[in-house]
């Protein structure tokens, strides 16, 4: 048996790798597990209920959930096999964005995961005909909600035949889902992806990711992101048991309980794990601090790319570091974690090296919602990784650099393959503008190939700015260099029509607090520490070192402003996929920006 449509993936698992624990989710602080057969049976019960309440083939149905879950997967499959169109909505979407999605996609119904998501749907001020609950009981609220137990029902002979009839009429090239890009500016656009688009990426990932029936995985990223949704299809096809975590904040407690082998993450999750290692350092004595500092510095210099033997001296030092530090670090993550695939934003190479030195192979990839999503990925096999790049193009995906290139060979990244979207909903002109005359998709990202076949993303075409000297600066590249400093958590480079480049910087406060304690600088709170002259001097020295070793003359950061509040999707400064809302950040910190460029 093969699979060519998304609702067939679970059936493929039942045929090839039937699982007693195919998926697990938490409810009322307890785990509930599902067999593969149980997931399929409940999928069909949901499909029966959806038809019984009057929904039809082609109807668009929203899914607004605070986290992924077995219920999310079953709803998705139930909709897909009826030819209905799932429209996931980010849990961090603003009311105006939710209203736009309801109107633009013409949603007939929407699933919500809890009372908070129901309140979000209500705050949009745009009604949908029917609201269903992902929970067994309907969440409390002013809107009428049909609970799961009332919606799902056993199919009679007529409805079983109706489901089969609808399934048989669905073609692989047919629209499967609409995903709204988070958008750093303006309202989100609806990306139309077919079954064939996503299936091609699932099969490409299965060929390069080490998961299978014996691999336990945890999932905590939102299923409204195409990255985690596509990977979850891949887990199903590989027969890997999936344990869903209700929030990233619970991850430190869940990892030792589930003891996974594999997970996907965004860079911020790895940064938090690193921060917890720093917190442990601050609690130790002088000798323990020295050992941790040595092990971390050793890990960040990890020289191995998988294509050659590791230098003998480094090999033995790493063994010692493993005994003294890394083994305990892995134990706190469950003790079995071997692989982490990272996407959505740029990973600091030093963290990729550190985790890999610690025996947790971290691999960064790159993709877009419009490409289902994976375009390139660093591999787990020997010779398949180069830290600081986003890896080798995925199987079946062609990548080229536009002929208009700068002196270093950077140009717009263009893609062609079966994973590329069919277009933007209701935006034919926008769709046409994203394709070249010979059919390649314009990503809008700028990059180049290094080491012959490894793609390096150096910026976003729309974000490149020109200073008053007439020289162009790619802010993303400069930001990547600044983030090499362990003292910098977040940063945004500014300088359009200015005489030089400046930066807004959010320090890594845990690392900074440790430094203050060791250098007898009185620590109070972040909002006061960013004004401390000694802290400012430290940050200036960090930036000057990066200016001298990693940045060209026009890219050097001449001035900076420290900020005390992290940028998050919740405060509106990041998109749901963790990208900076540059215009919003610049507007919110306009006073600080003005200070930087004041003559």
For the residues of 438-475, what is the DSSP string, one character each?
TS-EEEEEEEEEETTTEEEEEEEGGG-EE-TTS-EE-H
Q: How confident is the model at residue 139 (pLDDT cuts 50, 70, 90)?
A: confident
The CATH number of residue 547's host domain is 3.30.300.30
Please tell me the total count of domains within the chain. Answer: 3
Q: How confident is the model at residue 308 (pLDDT cuts 50, 70, 90)?
A: low
Q: How confident is the model at residue 477 (pLDDT cuts 50, 70, 90)?
A: confident
| pLDDT, tens only, 170-219 | 999 999 999 998 655 568 899 999 999 999 999 999 999 999 999 999 99
Whether residue 253 is contained in a domain is answered as no
Residue 569 near residue 335, CB atoms below 8 Å: no
pLDDT at 426: 95
pLDDT at 463: 81
d(CA 246, CA 244): 6
Q: How confident is the model at residue 267 (pLDDT cuts 50, 70, 90)?
A: confident
Residue 114 near residue 137, CB atoms below 8 Å: no
- Classified as helix, coil or strand, 254 is helix
Q: How confident is the model at residue 514 (pLDDT cuts 50, 70, 90)?
A: confident
Query: How many other β-carbons are positioned within 10 Å of the β-carbon of residue 281?
Result: 19
Shared-domain flag, residues 396 and 406: yes
pLDDT at 305: 64
- In this predicted model, which residue has the larger pLDDT, 96 or 598? 96
Q: Look over the chain and give the mean of its residue pLDDT values, rounded to a whole number.
A: 91
Q: Which of 147, 94, 98, 143 is nearest to 118 (CA)?
A: 143
Q: Strand order of the sheet with strand 107-112?
A: 85-89, 60-64, 107-112, 130-133
Q: Which of 133, 116, 131, 172 is nearest to 4 (CA)?
A: 172
What Å distances lie between residue 494 and 48, 497, 556, 565, CA to CA? 54, 9, 11, 18
Whether residue 1 is contained in a domain is answered as no
Shared-domain flag, residues 400 and 497: no
Shared-domain flag, residues 301 and 447: yes
Whether residue 255 is contained in a domain is answered as no
- Classified as helix, coil or strand, 261 is coil
Whether residue 455 is contained in a domain is answered as yes
Shared-domain flag, residues 395 and 472: no
Chosen domain end from 411, 441, 462: 462
Q: Which of 350, 408, 388 is nearest to 552 (CA)?
A: 408
Calculate what percentage of the chain has a pLDDT beyond 90: 66
Query: How many other β-carbons are positioned within 10 Å of the β-carbon of residue 286?
Result: 8
Whether residue 254 is contained in a domain is answered as no
Chosen domain end from 432, 462, 492: 462
d(CA 115, CA 29): 17
For 599, counting Cβ atoms within 10 Å of its Cβ (0-12 exposed, 13-18 middle, 19+ buried), the class is exposed
pLDDT at residue 405 above 90? no
Q: What is the pTM of this model?
A: 0.86
Shared-domain flag, residues 305 and 158: no
d(CA 241, CA 235): 7
Shared-domain flag, residues 493 and 591: yes
Give phi and psi for 456, each to the nearest 5. -120, 125
Residue 104 near residue 30, CB atoms below 8 Å: no
The CATH number of residue 131's host domain is 3.40.50.12780
Taking each helix axis from N to C end, the angle separating 9-16 and 70-80, rounded to the nearest 10 degrees, works out to 110
d(CA 16, CA 4): 15
Q: How confident is the model at residue 307 (pLDDT cuts 50, 70, 90)?
A: low
Q: How confident is the model at residue 464 (pLDDT cuts 50, 70, 90)?
A: confident
Shared-domain flag, residues 369 and 474: no
**Residue 587, token pair as written in the block:** 């507007």
User: Long-range contacts: 508-516, Cβ < 8 Å, 24+?
Assistant: 508/271, 508/275, 510/275, 510/278, 510/279, 510/282, 511/275, 511/278, 511/486, 511/487, 512/487, 512/538, 513/282, 514/278, 514/281, 514/282, 515/487
- Classified as helix, coil or strand, 83 is coil
For 316, counting Cβ atoms within 10 Å of its Cβ (0-12 exposed, 13-18 middle, 19+ buried), the class is exposed
- Classified as helix, coil or strand, 285 is coil
d(CA 282, CA 277): 9
Q: How confident is the model at residue 538 (pLDDT cuts 50, 70, 90)?
A: very high
d(CA 243, CA 351): 25
- In this predicted model, which residue has the larger pLDDT, 222 or 407? 222
Shared-domain flag, residues 187 and 329: no
Shared-domain flag, residues 328 and 185: no
Shared-domain flag, residues 292 and 428: yes
The half-sphere exposure of 561 on its side-chain side, counting CA atoms within 13 A, is 20
Whether residue 352 is contained in a domain is answered as yes
Residues 6+ apart with CB under 8 A from 287: none
Q: Tell whether the torsion through CA atoms of 548, 552, 554 and 556 is positive or negative.
A: negative
Whether residue 249 is contained in a domain is answered as no
> Each residue of 490-502: b (16+ CB within 10 Å) or e?
bbbbbbeebebbb
d(CA 349, CA 342): 12
Whether residue 22 is contained in a domain is answered as no
Shared-domain flag, residues 570 and 491: yes
Shared-domain flag, residues 68 and 106: yes
The stretch 79-101 carries a mean pLDDT of 94
Strands 557-562 and 501-507: parallel
Strands 23-27 and 339-342: unpaired
Give the residue carrying structure tokens 């619970």.
250
User: Long-range contacts: 571-574, Cβ < 8 Å, 24+?
Assistant: 572/94
| pLDDT, tens only, 57-66 | 999 999 999 9
Give the residue carrying structure tokens 């695939």.
341
Residue 585 near residue 592, CB atoms below 8 Å: no
Domain that includes residue 177, residue range = 6-15+28-200+217-233
The stretch 515-528 carries a mean pLDDT of 90
What Å distances lie between residue 180 and 102, 282, 405, 494, CA to CA? 11, 42, 31, 28
| pLDDT, tens only, 9-32 | 999 999 999 999 999 999 888 999
Chosen domain end from 208, 233, 258: 233
């Amino acid at each position: 048996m093969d699979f060519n449509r998304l609702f067939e993936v679970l059936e493929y698992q039942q045929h090839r790798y039937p699982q007693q624990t195919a998926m697990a989710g938490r409810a009322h602080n307890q785990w509930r597990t599902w067999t593969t057969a149980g997931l399929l049976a409940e999928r069909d019960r949901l499909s029966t209920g959806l038809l019984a309440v009057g929904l039809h083939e082609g109807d668009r149905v929203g899914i607004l959930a605070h986290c992924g879950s077995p219920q999310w997967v079953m709803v998705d499959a139930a909709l897909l096999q009826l030819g209905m169109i799932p429209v996931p909505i980010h849990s961090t979407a603003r009311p105006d964005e939710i209203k736009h999605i309801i109107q633009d996609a013409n949603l007939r119904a929407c699933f919500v995961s809890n009372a908070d998501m129901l309140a979000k749907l209500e705050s949009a001020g745009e009604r949908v005909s029917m609201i269903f609950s992902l929970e067994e009981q309907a969440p409390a609220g002013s809107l009428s909600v049909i609970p799961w137990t009332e919606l799902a029902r056993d199919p009679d002979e007529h409805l079983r035949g109706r489901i089969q009839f609808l399934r048989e009429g669905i073609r692989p090239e047919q629209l499967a889902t609409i995903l709204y890009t988070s958008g750093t500016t303006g309202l989100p656009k609806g990306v139309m992806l077919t079954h064939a688009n996503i299936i091609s990426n699932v099969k490409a990932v299965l060929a390069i990711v080490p998961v299978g029936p014996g691999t336990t995985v945890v999932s905590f990223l939102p299923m409204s992101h195409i990255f985690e949704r596509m990977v979850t299809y891949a887990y199903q096809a590989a027969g890997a048991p999936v344990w869903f975590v209700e929030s990233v904040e619970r991850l430190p407690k869940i990892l030792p309980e589930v003891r996974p082998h594999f997970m996907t993450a965004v860079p911020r999750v790895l940064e938090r794990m690193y921060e917890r290692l720093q917190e442990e350092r601050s609690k130790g004595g002088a000798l323990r601090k020295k050992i941790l500092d040595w092990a971390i510095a050793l890990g960040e210099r990890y020289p191995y790319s998988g294509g050659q033997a590791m230098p003998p001296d480094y090999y033995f030092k790493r063994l010692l570091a493993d005994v003294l530090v890394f083994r305990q670090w892995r134990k706190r993550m469950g003790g079995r974690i071997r692989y982490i695939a990272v996407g959505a934003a740029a990973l600091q190479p030093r963290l990729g090296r550190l985790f890999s030195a610690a025996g947790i192979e971290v691999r960064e990839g790159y993709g877009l919602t419009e490409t289902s999503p994976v375009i390139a990925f660093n591999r787990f096999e020997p010779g398949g990784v180069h830290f600081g790049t986003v890896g080798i193009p995925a199987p079946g995906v062609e990548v080229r650099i536009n002929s208009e290139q700068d002196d270093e060979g950077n140009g717009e990244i263009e893609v062609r393959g079966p994973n590329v979207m069919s277009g933007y909903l209701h935006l034919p002109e926008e769709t046409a503008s994203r394709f070249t005359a010979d059919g390649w998709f314009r990503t809008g990202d700028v990059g180049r190939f290094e080491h012959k076949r490894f793609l390096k993303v150096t910026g976003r075409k729309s974000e490149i700015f020109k200073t008053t000297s007439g020289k162009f600066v790619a802010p993303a590249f400069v930001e990547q260099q600044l983030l090499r400093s362990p003292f910098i958590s977040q940063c945004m480079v500014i300088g359009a029509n200015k005489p030089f480049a400046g930066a807004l910087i959010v320090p890594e406060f845990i690392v900074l607090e440790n430094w203050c304690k060791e250098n007898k600088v009185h620590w109070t709170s972040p909002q006061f520490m960013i004004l401390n002259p000694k802290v400012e001097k430290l940050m200036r020295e960090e930036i000057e070192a990066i200016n001298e070793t990693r940045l060209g003359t026009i890219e050097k950061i001449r001035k900076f402003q420290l900020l005390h509040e992290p940028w998050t999707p919740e405060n509106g400064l990041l998109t749901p996929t963790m990208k900076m809302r540059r215009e919003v950040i610049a507007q919110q910190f306009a006073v600080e920006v003005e200070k930087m460029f004041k003559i």
